[in-house]
Amino acid sequence: MSAMLEVTDLVTTFRTARGLVRAVDGVSFELDTGRTLAIVGESGSGKSVLARSLMNLLPSSADTSRGTAVYQGTQLRGQSAAALRRIWGDEISMIFQDPMTSLNPVVRVGRQITESLRFHRGQRGAAAQERALELMRDVGIPDPASRLSVYPHQLSGGMRQRVAIATALACEPSLLIADEPTTALDVTIQRQILDLLQRLQVEHGMAIILITHDLGVAAGRTDEVAVMYAGRIVEKAATPVLFSAMRHPYTEALLASIPRLENAVHTRLTTIGGRPPDLINPRRGCAFAPRCRYAQPRCLEEDPVLETATTVGHEVACFYPVDTEAGRAALSANSAAGVSAAGTTVRAAV
């Protein structure tokens, strides 16, 4: 059977005064019914643009002429707004990163939550209001009856985020794209929201694309993880495999930057040196090479492709993967020299 969502060689570029920005550059993945895929990476890696590309919610400066995104046999790219309107909010829904801009400031909260119910399910009046109250209780909004009639600006940032989540879940979609859904919430509400998503997933077979900076959430709540860097997926694997046997140096660096409870007080945090590449004028070779401890001369000239690592289903785009013979030799040579081929200072292993 084919996957619920099949994304193949997806490319999204933006026209700017400086030139063409390749925000999403050849991304491919599949997602099955009832599964959760985490997309992780630092800010600017292309995660949110990828999500908006799948939803066809991009500005006029964007070019989405390359690649396909097929949802249950329907090609999402290039569809008219009228055709997508039948899918948005019903079969595919999205929780946006910033609720202040995703919620309509001049429409009351209750009407925004029930909008998709009216459009897709024909629910109105008391039935729609009761469903809105149920959703608000599910996402942890206290005294929901009194908040149906308020406007978004009358709520805190965390409350607005919960309203956005309730709106996205109203029609119990088959595919939920959640872009940093718990960023503005305290840890107690985060747990409540994630438990709610997990319950809906079990009950309705909902598939989830979870975009997050929180590697702890990705480790405990997902089936597969895709790591993005400079608009590309550089590593993809089942969640337990990625966290126990990562192969890309960028993934290793991300995990090394997580604060550890066992560390002494005032221990200096590990950071990833340098800065993300310029997506308008990309340099030759691997995009991560200037920041990589493993970089060799080949990395400065050739661009690695995503291919199977040590196990089936584990893919990595690297010539010198972590914990492989080639990777160990590269790191050893750079440690001895004190610098990588790109000039990055190389100290003791992370």
Mean pLDDT of the residues in the chain = 90
Phi, psi of 4 (to 5 degrees): -60, -45
Nearest to 103 by CA among 161, 150, 177: 161
Q: Tell me what the mean pLDDT of segment 184-209 comes to.
A: 86
292 or 259: which leads in pLDDT: 292
State yes or no: pLDDT of 167 exceeds 70: yes
Q: Tell me what the mean pLDDT of segment 107-112 comes to.
A: 94
Half-sphere exposure of 139 (CA within 13 A, CB side): 25
Residues forming beta bridges with residue 38, ordered by sequence position: 210, 225
**Would you state the pLDDT for residue 242?**
95
Q: What is the pLDDT of residues 273-296, one digit of tens each?
A: 888 898 898 889 999 999 999 999
Asked which of 1-5, 39-43, 193-197, 338-342 is least confident by mean pLDDT, the reply is 1-5
CATH 3.40.50.300 domain extents, the chain: 1-91+175-184+202-244
**Would you state the pLDDT for residue 1?**
55
Asked which of 37-41, 204-208, 239-243, 289-293 is least confident by mean pLDDT, the reply is 204-208
One-letter identity of residue 169 = L
91 or 264: which leads in pLDDT: 91
State yes or no: pLDDT of 11 exceeds 50: yes
Q: What is the pLDDT of residues 57-97, one digit of tens each?
A: 888 888 877 899 999 988 988 788 788 888 998 999 999 88
Which residue's entry shows tokens 């070019």?
A: 63
Q: Tell me what the mean pLDDT of segment 149-169 comes to.
A: 91
Highest mean pLDDT of the ranges 66-80, 177-191, 316-330: 316-330
**Would you state the pLDDT for residue 350?**
47
Q: What is the pLDDT of residues 337-348, one digit of tens each?
A: 999 999 999 975
State yes or no: pLDDT of 268 exceeds 90: no
Q: What is the pLDDT of residues 208-237, one digit of tens each?
A: 999 998 898 999 999 999 999 999 999 999
State in words which class domain 1-91+175-184+202-244 has: alpha beta
On the 0-12 / 13-18 / 19+ scale of CB atoms within 10 A, 196 is middle
Q: What is the pLDDT of residues 132-144, one digit of tens each?
A: 999 999 888 999 9
Q: Is the pTM of this model over 0.85?
A: yes
Q: Can you read off the two tokens belonging to residue 44?
A: 């600017």
State yes or no: pLDDT of 251 exceeds 50: yes
State yes or no: pLDDT of 156 exceeds 70: yes
Greatest Cα pair distance, the chain, in angstroms, is 72
Q: What is the pLDDT of residues 21-31, one digit of tens each?
A: 999 999 999 99
Q: What percent of the chain has pLDDT over 70?
A: 98
Q: Tell me what the mean pLDDT of segment 36-45 comes to.
A: 93
Which residue's entry shows tokens 């709106």?
A: 167
Check: CB of residue 51 under 8 Å from CB of residue 209.
yes
- Give the chain as a 3 state SS string: CCCCEEEEEEEEEEECCCCEEEEEEEEEEEECCCCEEEEECCCCCCHHHHHHHHHCCCCCCEEEEEEEEEECCEECCCCCHHHHHCCECCCEEEECCCHHHHCCCCCCHHHHHHHHHHHHHCCCHHHHHHHHHHHHHHCCCCCHHHHCCCCHHHCCHHHHHHHHHHHHHCCCCCEEEEECCCCCCCHHHHHHHHHHHHHHHHHHCCEEEEECCCHHHHHHHCCEEEEEECCEEEEEEEHHHHHHCCCCHHHHHHHHCCCCCCCCCCCCCCCCCCCCCCCCCCCCCCCCHHHCCCCCHHHHHCCCCCEECCCCCCEECCCCCCCCHHHHHHHHHHHHHCECCCCCECCCCC
On the 0-12 / 13-18 / 19+ scale of CB atoms within 10 A, 91 is middle
98 conformational bin, left if phi > 0, alpha if psi -120 to 50, beta if neither: beta
State yes or no: pLDDT of 241 exceeds 80: yes
pLDDT band at 349; cut points 50, 70, 90: low
State yes or no: pLDDT of 264 exceeds 90: no
